[in-house]
Amino acid sequence: MYRLINEIRKIYSDKAQAPYIQTKTLCPLSIDERLSYLRNAFQNSADLTIRELKLSGIKAAVITIDNMIDKQVLAESILAPVCSHKFFSSPENCYDTIKYKLLCTAELVETDTYEELEAKIMSGFVVIAIDGCTKMMAIGIQGYAGRSVSEPESDVVQRGSKEGFVESIRVNMTLIRRRLKNPRLKFETMTLGKTSKTEIGLCYLTDSVSADILSELKKRLRKVPLDTVLTAGYLVPFIEEKNDFSLFSSVGISERPDTVCGKLTEGRIAILIDGVPSALIVPYIFVEHFQSLDDYSNRAYFATFTRILKYCAFFISVLLPGVYVSLGTYDPEMFPTLMLNKIAGSIAATPLSLAAETIMILFVYEIMREAGLRMPQPLGYAVSIVGGLVIGDTAVNAGLIGAPTLMVVAVSAISSYVVPSLYAPSAALRLLFTLAGSFFGIWGIAVFFCVFAVGLCGKTSLGIPYTTPVTPFSAVAFRDVIVRAGWRILSHKTERVQELPGAEINGDD
C-alpha cells in the first residue's frame, strides 16, 4: 500500500520534467562512415534506400526513404543530370557543380549533422552526400500519398469555403497563405518529440501579434517533454496555464483555414502540427465557442438571433436536467398544475427516484453516443435506431422510465450539439448540476453555478482573461459577443489582443 501511494505521489508530483533538447553531431568527411552510421541507426530498414555513385572517381551517395519521394522527379531532375555529367575536380567543386549547375529543383537545404540528415530523409527529402565534403544537399521532392483537400466533416458552414485542413503541414500553410497574401504573414517551424520528431509550425501576422504572447508560447512549447506528438491534444496541456483544472480549454481548434485566417488578423497565433488536419488557436476566449463563419455571412439580425439561440442552448443543455430534478424532488409546487400531475404520475409509475432515473438516462445516452461514434457508419445508424426504439418507446411502456424525464434529457442532449466545441464540458456540467440538484435542491444549483462562474472568470489564456470582453468589460469588443453588429460597424478599427485589458503574461519560469 505504501509503495502504491508513493508511486501515485511521484506521478502527480509537481516536479518539472526535462524538456526535449535536440543534440547536434557533425558528420565526418568519410562517406563510408556516414553510410555506416545511417545503416546502423535505421537497423538496415527495408525502406532506407542508398544509391551509391562514382563522380569521376569520387564516391557519392543519394539517400532517400522509399515511398516518401517523387521517384520520377528524382530520376529526371537529380540522377540523370548528375550521372551524365563528367567531373574533373575536387569534392568541393563537385558539390558546387551539382548545387549551382545541375540541380533543377527549387527547395534545397544544406546540412552537416547526423540529426538534420535523419530528419530530412524522413521528411521526404533526398540527400546527396559526397566523400571528402561534410556538407550535404537535401532536396525537397516529397511524393508520399496524402488526402486531398476536402470539406471538413465536423465544421460545416452553409456559406463559405469548402476547403479544410489536411494532414500535410505544407499544404496547410499553403491554404492559409492563399487567403492572406500578406508578406507579414510568417511561419516558424520547430521539432517536438524525442521519438516522433514531429514538425510544428507557428503562424502569425508580425504586425498584429503580441510579442509577449508569442515569446511565452514559444517558451512553453520548448519545455514540452513528450517523446511523441501525434495529435493536437498532446500539446494542449502544456500550452494552457499550469495547474489549470478547468473543464474548458483555453486553446481553440479549427479545421477551417478561413476561420484561422480570421483569427490571425485579430492577433492570434495558429499552431499547425504535421499529420493533424486541424490547427490550434491561441489565445482563445469563451465567447468564441459561440461564433461561427456563417454569423459573418448572414445579415446581422439573423446572426444575432442564431447567436442568442446558441447561448440559450448551452445553458439549457447544462442546467435543464438539474433544475428539473431539483424542482421535482424538493419544490414540486413550482410546476404548473397540469404539468405537476403528469410528472407526479410518471414518478409514481416508475421504480426509481427522479434523480436516479435522470442520471441513468444520461449514462445510457452517453453510452449510445459513444457506440454510434466509434462503430462503422452503417452500424452506427443501426445503434441509433435500436437505441431510440428501446429507450424511447419500450422503456416508457414498460414503466422503467418516465416520459417527462426522457424528454428533458433528450432536449438537453440535443441542445448540447448546437455548440459542438463545448460538448465535453456540457456533458460533465450536466451531470454535476444534476447531482447538485438531487442532493441540495435549487440552492445547490445556484451555489454550484456561482462556483462555476467564478472559476470561469478566473481563467486565462496566455495572460488574456478567458471571459473577456464580458469581464473585464469592453464596450468596443462587446459588439461581437451576443449581438453581432453589421459590417459597417465591425469594419471600424477594433482592439487587438495585446490591447485587451489584463493581457499581461503570467508564465511559469
Q: Does pLDDT of 252 surpass 70?
A: yes
Rounded-to-integer distance, Cα 172 and Cα 121, Å: 21
- The pLDDT of residue 498 is 40
Alpha-carbon distance of 102 to 107, in angstroms, equals 14
Residues 6+ apart with CB under 8 A from 180: 205, 261, 264, 265
Report d(CA 357, CA 68) in Å as an integer: 56
Q: How far is it, in rounded angstroms, from Cα 309 to Cα 478?
A: 17
**pLDDT for residue 509:** 39
Cell of 410: 433528450
Q: Which of 5-9, 64-68, 115-119, 257-261 has the lowest mean pLDDT?
A: 5-9
Every domain of the chain and the residues it spans? 31-140, 169-296, 300-457
Q: Let me know the angle formed at the C-alpha of 30 by 198 and 118, rounded to the nearest 5 degrees.
A: 5
Query: For the chain, what is the mean pLDDT?
Result: 84
- DSSP code, position 288: G
pLDDT digits (tens, 9 = 90+) for 397-418: 777 788 888 889 989 989 999 9
Provide CB contacts within 8 A for 402, sequence distance 6+: 343, 346, 347, 349, 350, 357, 396
* Helix axes of 354-374 and 300-330: crossing angle, nearest 10 degrees: 140
Quickly count: other Cβ atoms within 10 Å of residue 267's Cβ: 23
**C-alpha cell read off for 261:** 485566417
Q: What is the mean pLDDT of residues 304-316?
A: 93
Question: pLDDT class for 308, splitting at 50, 70, 90?
Answer: very high
Q: How much is the pLDDT for 380? A: 63
**Once rounded to an integer, what is the mean pLDDT over residues 162-182?**
90
First-to-last CA distance in the chain?
A: 35
Yes or no: say if 444 and 264 are a contact pair by the CB < 8 Å rule.
Answer: no
Task: Tell me whether the omega of the peptide bond preceding residue 283 falls within 30 degrees of 0, making it cis.
Answer: yes
Alpha helix ranges (H) inside 284-422: 300-330, 337-349, 354-374, 377-389, 395-397, 403-416
Average confidence (pLDDT) over 105-115: 86
Question: C-alpha grid cell for residue 144?
Answer: 508520399
The neighbour count for residue 486, using CB atoms within 10 Å, is 12
Write out the three cell numbers for 415.
Answer: 441542445
Q: Cα separation of 490 and 376, whole Å?
A: 44
Q: Which three cell numbers stand for residue 365?
A: 445516452
C-alpha cell at 305: 438571433
Does the pTM surpass 0.75? The reply is yes
pLDDT, tens digit, for every residue of 415-436?
999 998 899 999 999 999 999 9
Which band of pLDDT confidence, cut at 50, 70 and 90, is reported for residue 17? Answer: low
Closest CA to 189 of 179, 203, 176: 203
The pLDDT tens digits of the residues spanning 192-249 come to: 888 888 889 999 999 889 999 999 999 999 988 888 898 888 999 999 988 778 889 8
Q: Output 16 or 57, whichever has higher pLDDT.
A: 57
| Per-residue pLDDT band at 503 (split at 50, 70, 90) | very low
pLDDT of residue 9: 63
Q: What is the pLDDT of residue 497?
A: 43
Mean pLDDT of 377-398: 68
- Between 382 and 369, residue with greater pLDDT: 369
